[in-house]
Amino acid sequence: MEVVPRSTILGYPESYMSIMIQEIEEQPATLERTWREEFRRIERFRRVLERRRPSLIVLVARGTSDNAALFGRYLLEMTTGIPVSLAAPSLLTLYHAPMRWEGALVVGVSQSGESTDTNLFLEAAGKGGALTVGVTNEAASSITRLVDEVFLVRAGKERSVAATKTYTGQLLMMYLLAYALGAPLDPRRLERLPALAARALRLKPAISRLAERYRYMDHAVVVGRGLNYANAFEFSLKLMETCYVVAERFSGADFLHGPIALVERAFPVFLFAPPGPTWEATRAILEKLRGLEAETVVISDAGNTPSFAYATRSIRVPGPIPATPGSPADLFTPIPYIVPAQLFAATLAAQKGLNPDRPRTLTKITKTV
């Protein structure tokens, strides 16, 4: 375990800047570049899908990319009406289960493009008649040679083991895939996502002060629902891999069906609380947690100011974040909401004297079968 001297931490952000924090700050540029360089290709793919509309979508990924795929499951199913499944690669790689792929669109999401089981799954699906797509940050990776269509997250080299800019780039790609599948998403709204991420970065000083309060935290729960359910997984993953905090993650509904028994006085619970369809259920959880005297931190924006009154602490994303008319109010919240969560994890690691760029026992590319 690499430990950062405490003297370099207390001056953050002036005197301490991990690679992870640098890459978090690169996200607006990554999103803008991905949008600019991939949108024409998405338009061409949209025409392909008009002729070959899938009856089923399967997303296959691991790690952070799997969290992006989880977001894609909610978004694609919600906006296109096509059933979406998250793949279980071991059914193919370990159990060798035969599958029928006619009429399916199979999308592999991999930062490196070298995830062994993801690539084996894509190869088998393609041979079985599926239309296959690869989403990766590496143009020369193995995944690009296996699929029918490739879309690149234009993040540049990601040096920190903890993925940040590739995650939000993958979220953007899910919006673009939804558009290609005919979802009623206004491209002009998608084009504003880089600016929303840039606006969220203004929270750095406030996040640094907040993280100091949790320097000795060793366990927590993260709650999200709907379009931000994937962010609950991603935030907890960042807390686990960079801060060594045991961070359980739940949907709001599942949390009430048992895991809330974990909570006692001062127990830290982080909640994504956007406006829209999930708010009333989240409000009920916050009320219950307040009765338990839990330490609650909500991540929300000015479109849902009531959320701040229910929590012990809050992360107030600059906003409000407008959605497309007729769409859920939380449609575009996942990218600007995860940015402060990433900053919190990176800063908390520094507060704990840890180097978030080199988590113990982890490497950038993990190959599993």
DSSP line for 83-127: -EEE--THHHHTT------TTEEEEEEESSS--HHHHHHHHHHHH
Query: Where are the CATH 3.40.50.10490 domain residues in the chain?
Result: 22-189, 195-351
For the record, the structure tokens of 122 come out as 């894509």
Cα torsion at 113, 65, 52, 44 (round to 10°)?
-70
Q: How far apart are CA 174 and CA 131, in angstroms?
A: 16
Q: How far apart are CA 214 and CA 230, in angstroms?
A: 23
Phi first, then psi, for residue 357 (nearest 5°) are -80, -20
Q: What is the mean pLDDT of the chain?
A: 92
| Mean predicted confidence (pLDDT) in 321-350 | 95
| Mean predicted confidence (pLDDT) in 336-356 | 95
Contact 201, 318 (CB under 8 A): no
More confident residue, 186 or 6: 186
Q: Label residue 335 by pLDDT band (50, 70, 90).
A: very high
In this predicted structure, what is the pLDDT of residue 229? Answer: 98
| Mean predicted confidence (pLDDT) in 141-156 | 97
| Mean predicted confidence (pLDDT) in 95-116 | 94
| Mean predicted confidence (pLDDT) in 176-198 | 96
In this predicted structure, what is the pLDDT of residue 173? Answer: 98
In this predicted structure, what is the pLDDT of residue 290? Answer: 96
**Helix, strand, or coil here: 220?**
strand
In this predicted structure, what is the pLDDT of residue 36? Answer: 96
Phi first, then psi, for residue 219 (nearest 5°) are -150, 155
pTM: 0.93
Q: How far apart are CA 300 and CA 63, in angstroms?
A: 25
| Mean predicted confidence (pLDDT) in 129-157 | 97
Residue % of the chain over a pLDDT of 70: 93
In this predicted structure, what is the pLDDT of residue 325? Answer: 86
Q: Does domain 195-351 have CATH number 3.40.50.720?
A: no
Contact 244, 217 (CB under 8 A): no
Amino acid letter, 200 = A
In this predicted structure, what is the pLDDT of residue 13? Answer: 43
pLDDT greater than 80 at residue 199: yes
In this predicted structure, what is the pLDDT of residue 235? Answer: 98
In this predicted structure, what is the pLDDT of residue 359? Answer: 76
Q: How far apart are CA 104 and CA 52, in angstroms?
A: 10
In this predicted structure, what is the pLDDT of residue 324? Answer: 85
Q: How far apart are CA 273 and CA 297, in angstroms?
A: 10
The superfamily CATH assigns to domain 22-189 is Glucose-6-phosphate isomerase like protein; domain 1 (3.40.50.10490)
